[in-house]
Amino acid sequence: MNRFACLYLPPASDGSLPNPAQLLDMADAYSPRAEQVGNDLVVFDIKGLARMFGTAEAIGAALRRDAVTRGIEAHVAIAGTRVAALVLARARPGPTIVAPGDEAAALAPLPIEALERLVPSDPLHDFTRILTSWGVRTLGELAAMPSADLAARLGQTGRLWQAMARGEDRRPLVPRRPEERFEASLDLDWPIDGLEPLSFVLTRLLEPLALQLERRDRGAAVVHVVLRLVSREIHQRSLQLPSPIRDARTLRTLALLDLESHPPAAAIDRVTIVIDPTPGRVLQHTLFAHAHPKPESLSTLLARLGALMGSDRIGAPAALDTDRPGAFAMRPFRTDWSVAPSHPRTSAPSHPRVCVVSALRRCRHPVPARVALQDGRPVRVTTERSGFEGGGVRTCTGPWRTSGDWWTRGWNHHEWDVELSTGVAYRIFHDRDRGGWFIDAIAD
């Protein structure tokens, strides 16, 4: 059988604002399941307290005494439903004790206004005024109205008002959870210099944190590694994880890889790990497709590749909205892939010809070339660069003029596509601003 107690802090005579922490502290002394409703109302679950205090009246008296001891002028109400306790606490100083099942009778004599602030407001309707105009003045009269007719006239909000007038709960108590801090630190007897000993320390700190995250169904969104150095400087690194991770070994590897690229300047004498939590992932796998890799695996791989090649050299390519030849951008590679979509096996076309885009191999730094012209068209292309064949031009198309970004020393080219007698095809251009011919790409 559920029992709820409610503490209400009425407005002070001097107009000072209530301190919500006082009520919460008091509620926490009795139950871990407490919900705050505004700054002046706290409702909490007292189921099971009878074994400690005895009857509900004894619990109410104990609450009242405790409130006086703490210097709080609080109203106290105990009822079988959350709503009844809330309404009665606001209406009477108490302690008001309602036996289970008697909530509606206890609420019946109270005026309609007792429900205000406890139900969601409707900007279009002033329910108190409407009900008063109908002659409904008490919660008992509201509870006695036919539900269907009330809903027809006032909608779902009207039904909610009536349910509250009857002392019925439309939702369970939602306990307030204190903000849990995922932090661990370790003072070292002897300063450590180097990443290998640090990895043991990180493991020792991260394993309990990972366990704590798992218990709360949370993952790490950001990992802050704070190192206090012997020089009294603080070396702090923050790892933004692309997806929630709570595997201690993965987190340790990522932290170490980051510290490899950004090592501390001196030996370390205190290590602190702070984790910003985020809700964990929920994955549904399928039997008919390859499962995508875990974000932990991909994050670790990307961190290792970034440490090896440089973080600017890895990622997912993206085309830019520009006409600049060969322009591109690098974006971080996604790691939070869901399950691969199952793809229907498509039947092959009956003819062997397929449409393939002829690809270019870009020279990031255009290769200087010598181009012989005849009637304004290239007839021979040669270059001193090894690996690039030269020769007479068999066919060519062009020129295409392309230019842009003139305000930032952009490009101004005449482009040609040439096929040499050797079979090699190049995209070459003539730089109109600086002069000279260059090989921009190889068609392959």
Partner 1 sequence: MPALARADLEALLRTKQLDRTLTTPAPAELPHLHDDFAVAPAGVPALDTALAGGFPRGQLSEIVGSPSSGRTSLVLHMLAAATARGELVALVDALDRFDVASGAAAGTDVDRLLWIRGRVIERPGPCREANHRALEQAVQALALVLHSGVFGLVIFDIADAPPQTLRRLSFTTWLRVQRMVEGGHTACVLVGAEHLARSSAGLTLQVKGGMRAFAGFDMEARIIRARDRDHEPLCVSVSATCV
Q: Footprint of partner 1 on this chain (CB under 8 A)?
A: 289-290, 292-293, 297-298, 300-301, 304-305, 308-309, 313-319, 326, 328, 330, 333-334, 337, 340-343, 345, 347-349, 352-364, 367, 385-389, 395, 397, 417, 419, 423-425, 441-444
- Choose between 374 and 386: whose C-beta lies nearer to partner 1: 386
Least Cβ distance, residue 430 to partner 1 (angstroms)? 18
- Choose between 240 and 386: whose C-beta lies nearer to partner 1: 386
Please give the Cα distance from 402 to 416 (Å, whole number). 11
Please give the Cα distance from 416 to 426 (Å, whole number). 8
- Choose between 104 and 256: whose C-beta lies nearer to partner 1: 256
- The answer to whether 363 and 354 are in contact (CB under 8 A) is no
Six token digits for residue 163: 């349910």
Which of 11, 38, 4 has the alpha carbon at shortest distance from 24?
Answer: 38
Least Cβ distance, residue 258 to partner 1 (angstroms)? 16
- Choose between 136 and 367: whose C-beta lies nearer to partner 1: 367
Please give the angle made by the CA atoms of 403, 408 and 410, to the nearest 5 degrees: 25
Least Cβ distance, residue 371 to partner 1 (angstroms)? 17
Least Cβ distance, residue 375 to partner 1 (angstroms)? 18
Q: How far is CA 197 from CA 189, 256, 296, in A?
A: 13, 11, 23
- Choose between 187 and 444: whose C-beta lies nearer to partner 1: 444
- The answer to whether 367 and 386 are in contact (CB under 8 A) is no
Least Cβ distance, residue 330 to partner 1 (angstroms)? 7
Least Cβ distance, residue 221 to partner 1 (angstroms)? 22
Looking at beta carbons, which pairs linking 72-77 to residues 24 or more positions away fall under 8 Å? 72/7, 72/9, 72/22, 72/23, 72/26, 73/9, 73/10, 74/7, 74/8, 74/9, 74/23, 74/26, 75/6, 75/7, 75/8, 75/9, 75/10, 76/5, 76/6, 76/7, 77/5, 77/6, 77/8
- Choose between 159 and 324: whose C-beta lies nearer to partner 1: 324
Least Cβ distance, residue 398 to partner 1 (angstroms)? 10
The separation between CA 358 and the C-alpha centre of its own chain, rounded to angstroms, equals 42
- Choose between 229 and 339: whose C-beta lies nearer to partner 1: 339
- Choose between 8 and 416: whose C-beta lies nearer to partner 1: 416
Please give the Cα distance from 296 to 254 (Å, whole number). 10
Phi, psi at residue 362, to the nearest 5°?
A: -80, 140
- Pairing label, strands 218-229, 182-192: unpaired
- Choose between 240 and 350: whose C-beta lies nearer to partner 1: 350
Strands, E assignment, 230-267: 234-245
Least Cβ distance, residue 174 to partner 1 (angstroms)? 39
Least Cβ distance, residue 278 to partner 1 (angstroms)? 22
- Choose between 4 and 437: whose C-beta lies nearer to partner 1: 437
The separation between CA 391 and the C-alpha centre of its own chain, rounded to angstroms, equals 58
- Choose between 99 and 316: whose C-beta lies nearer to partner 1: 316
Q: Where is 141: in which H helix or E strand?
A: helix 139-144
Burial of 213 (0-12, 13-18, 19+ CB in 10 A): buried
Least Cβ distance, residue 384 to partner 1 (angstroms)? 9
- The answer to whether 37 and 27 are in contact (CB under 8 A) is no
**φ/ψ bin of 228: left (φ > 0), alpha (ψ from -120 to 50), beta (otherwise):** beta
Side chain identity at residue 364, one-letter code: R
Least Cβ distance, residue 362 to partner 1 (angstroms)? 5
